[in-house]
Amino acid sequence: MSRQFKNIRKAFTLLELLLVLAILVALAGIAVPTFESMVTARRLTESNQQLLNELKAARVTAMRTGQAQVMRATLQTRDYSITPWLGGTESQDASAGATVMGTDGQAVATEKGVSGGVATSAVDASSGMKQLSIGVQFSAIETLVDSRNALELQNSGEAMPASGAAVTTDGLSSPLLVYPDGSTTTAQIVLVDQSGRRMAIQIRGVTGQLSSFRLMSVDPSSIAK
């Protein structure tokens, strides 16, 4: 065997190392954005499902306690709340487990007393505050105000949306009500992620039925930061 084949090369040249490094950098440039996009898309789906589950739970709570529940959100943020609706008539309509306004003007929860009566306990006002996943926010909440909604808003002193369509003040959505009979405010909630992907939840007022679907994506630069 010739001496040429006996001297096996045990190292790479600088040019080869640079070439391999360039390939790895190029692959990383492709993989990282793809991975980030997958994570963001998953957060949008998870937020959508989270909101669906909580609206379903609010319907069960309303039917169990006899007190309407209300969902509000601040547009272009992750923040929202689902809390008992203090519309002025809850103290006479609600059963144990409801939240009513006490004589001192503070919200209190009703519960069955040991002697069969009704007792009350303090309520943590922050317990209904929630957030969507990071990178997901409320793009729009459109509610249709019918005669029942209008009466509830009037009793509670809420501002009446113009022309039957919900308006917002300082980014806060009009109340989306879930009633003890299982019906709700007719509404559509739109969520958007950092990449402009959107998902919508539609709520049928008479039946309280919830449905979810994807909308066309929007330009990410149009999303308020």
Q: Where are the domains of the chain?
A: 34-84+128-222
pLDDT by residue for the chain (225 residues), tens only, comes to 555 555 555 666 777 777 777 777 776 666 556 656 666 778 999 999 999 999 999 999 999 888 889 999 999 999 999 988 876 554 455 555 555 544 444 445 555 444 444 444 444 545 678 999 999 999 999 888 777 777 777 776 776 665 544 555 567 888 899 999 999 999 999 999 988 999 999 999 899 999 999 998 887 777 765
Q: What is the pLDDT of residue 121?
A: 43
Which helix (H) or strand (E) covers residue 56, if one does? helix 14-65
Neighbours of 127 (CB within 10 A): 10
Neighbours of 214 (CB within 10 A): 12
**How far is residue 205 CA from its own chain's centroid?**
19
Q: What is the pLDDT of residue 169?
A: 53
- Domain 34-84+128-222, CATH 3.40.50.2300 — does that match? no
pTM of the predicted structure, to 2 decimals: 0.69
Start-to-end CA span in the chain (Å): 71
Q: CA 155, 71, 85, 184 torsion: positive or negative?
A: positive
Q: What is the pLDDT of residue 209?
A: 93
Using DSSP, state whether 98 is helix, strand or coil. Answer: coil
How far apart, in whole angstroms, are the C-alpha atoms of residue 58 and residue 27? 47
How far apart, in whole angstroms, are the C-alpha atoms of residue 64 and residue 154? 25
Q: What is the pLDDT of residue 86?
A: 79
